[in-house]
């Protein structure tokens, strides 16, 4: 089970070679910090980061 983060949107995809959020193939296993957005409409963190899709994100990508 590998968790790969997208270099563009920082979305973490599980066992996939393409980002499940933006479709990019630029994935990396070098990422740090973990963020789970459950409700992007109500979350201030999501607003700050401009996240609109719930899911798991990396804070910093390698």
Partner 1 sequence: MNRFFAIKTTANQERVVANLMEMAVKKYELGVYSILAPKELKGYVIVEAEKMEDLLKAIRGLPHVKGVVKGEVNFSEIEHFLTPRKAAEQIKEGFTVEIISGPFKGELAVVKRVDEAKNEITVELIEAVVPIPVTVKADHVRVVDKKEEEV
Nearer to partner 1, 22 or 45 (CB): 45
Locate 3 and state its tokens: 């968790």
Count other Cβ atoms within 10 Å, centred on residue 14: 10
Question: Annotation-wise, does 17 bind a ligand?
Answer: no
**Whats the size of the chain, residue-wise?**
62
C-alpha span between 45 and 42 (Å, rounded): 9
Cβ of residue 3: shortest distance to partner 1, in angstroms? 9
Has 19 been labeled as part of a binding site?
yes
Instruction: List contacts with partner 1 (CB under 8 A).
Output: 32-39, 42-46, 48-49, 59-60, 62
Question: Which amino acids are annotated as binding site for Zn(2+), given as ranges?
Answer: 6, 9, 19, 22
Q: Which residues are annotated as a binding site?
A: 6, 9, 19, 22
């Amino acid at each position: 089970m590998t968790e790969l983060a997208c270099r563009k949107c920082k979305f973490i995809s599980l066992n996939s070679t393409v980002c499940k959020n933006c479709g990019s193939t630029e994935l990396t296993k070098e990422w740090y910090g973990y963020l789970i957005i459950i409700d992007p409409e109500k979350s201030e963190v999501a607003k700050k980061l401009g996240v609109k899709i719930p899911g798991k994100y990396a804070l910093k990508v390698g």
